[in-house]
């Protein structure tokens, strides 16, 4: 799992914020098959908090997918990362 808090610069409405957040979630799903949702900061115009999950039979593979997904967000989206955390479990 990963959680990312990011700032969305130059946003003037909730509609614009939702467009950016939706774009990030869709990229995570389309490229990496990560399930993602906005989990907090829903009423904030400038910030968003997204949680994502990826299930795999290999902890190493799962962590590498999440790391690549985070790198994609940093490079390809118009946001400023404020905080990120990763968590993985084995059963």
> Which residue range(s) make up the domain with 67?
2-86
**Residue at 38 is within a domain:** yes
**Residue at 14 is within a domain:** yes
Closest listed residue to residue 4, CA positions, set 23, 25, 18, 19: 25
**Residue at 91 is within a domain:** no
**Residue at 52 is within a domain:** yes
**Residue at 81 is within a domain:** yes
* pLDDT of the residue at 12: 87
**Residue at 79 is within a domain:** yes
Q: Which residues pair with 51 in a beta bridge?
A: 3, 37
Contact assessment for residue 77 and residue 69, using Cβ atoms and an 8 Å cutoff: no
Query: What is the tally of structural domains in the chain?
Result: 1
pLDDT classification of 4: cutoffs 50, 70, 90: very high
Kindly report, residue by residue over 28-78, the tens digit of the pLDDT: 999 999 999 999 888 888 999 999 999 998 889 999 999 999 999 989 888
Helix or strand (DSSP H, E) at 3: strand 2-7
Q: Which residues pair with 50 in a beta bridge?
A: 4, 38
CATH of the domain at 57: 3.30.70.1120
* pLDDT of the residue at 11: 87
């Amino acid at each position: 799992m990963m959680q990312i808090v990011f700032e969305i610069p130059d946003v003037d409405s909730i509609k614009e914020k939702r467009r950016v957040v939706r774009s990030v979630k869709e990229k995570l799903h389309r490229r990496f098959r990560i399930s993602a949702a906005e989990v907090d900061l829903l009423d904030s115009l400038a910030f968003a908090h997204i949680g994502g999950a990826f299930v795999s039979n290999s902890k190493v593979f799962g962590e590498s997918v999440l790391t690549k997904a985070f790198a994609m967000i940093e490079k390809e989206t118009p946001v400023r990362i404020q905080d990120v955390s990763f968590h993985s479990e084995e059963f």
